[in-house]
Amino acid sequence: LTPPWVRTDERTLAMALPLAPRVRRWWLSQPTVPVLDRWARALFAGGNAFTRRARFAVNHAEVDTLMPGVEAVEMTRLFWGRRWMMVRSFIVDGAVVDAGLVGSGDRLAELCRERGVTQAFITHHHEDHSGGARHLHDAGVKVRAGRETSNLMRETLPLRWYQHAMWGQARPVPCEAVATDEVVALGDRGLEGRVLHAPGHCADQMVLHIPDRGWLFSGDAFLHERPRFFRADEDFCAQL
């Protein structure tokens, strides 16, 4: 019984977050207001002085070694010291898979320079996976993605207010397209990855399979055994 003006992805997010029933009912009753999206973009862009002083939406990144040859760069925004919606980029050989959040793009670019990363592979266009791509490009890292993703990443895509708050607006970036089933060399250690199309989370979702190591960098093709909510444009039946 959702009002027709409430977008499906916003409705499902409201149902998934730990909100009091009264707050959830209020959220679901609100119309989509473009001015709220614009206000959120201005407030959260780049982590301004107000948000830093208030410890609100503070960008945070740290590095974790998952296994020999693979490092995870964990990125999130801290709201009063609490982590929300962590995302990861993976550094493997001479490549980084996904570019994480725009607010942590400088840190990711610094890590890539230190580790000799020369290329980035973006699994899909969503702002929590492509956010730092412009920083990588400006640092001399070649940004690569599937054809549809590369087209989308050249544009400034519209976001809702909660996307600005949680992840931030990705900046347009030149992006080299790779084809489905194309084999790409990751670096100078002989590792190769095969690019595979894996729609479901979004139509342009790609994954990177490294058969020699049994690794699959799946982006958001796999989210959880029991997802709590879905975006309006998701169709996981497309993976079957």
Judgement on whether residues 20 and 103 belong to the same structural domain of the protein: no
CATH assignment at residue 222: 3.60.15.10
Is residue 146 located within the same domain as residue 201? yes
The reply to whether 64 and 23 lie within a common domain is: no
Q: What confidence category does residue 3 fall into, taking pLDDT thresholds of 50, 70 and 90?
A: very low
Question: pLDDT digits over 14-26, tens only?
Answer: 555 666 676 666 6
More confident residue, 223 or 203: 203
Tell me, yes or no, whether 41 and 106 share the same domain. yes
Domain containing 85 equals 33-239
Residue 177: the pLDDT is 96
pLDDT per residue as tens digits for the range 21-60: 766 666 656 555 566 677 677 777 655 555 555 566 678 8
Tell whether the model's pLDDT for residue 5 goes beyond 50: no
Same structural domain, 177 and 138 = yes
Residues 6 or more apart whose Cβ sits within 8 Å of residue 35 = none
CB contact at 8 A, 105 and 131: yes
Entry pTM: 0.81
Same domain, 14 and 120: no
Q: What is the pLDDT of residues 93-121, one digit of tens each?
A: 899 999 999 989 999 999 999 999 999 99
Same domain, 8 and 72: no
Question: Domain count of the chain?
Answer: 2
Residue 6 has pLDDT above 50, yes or no: no
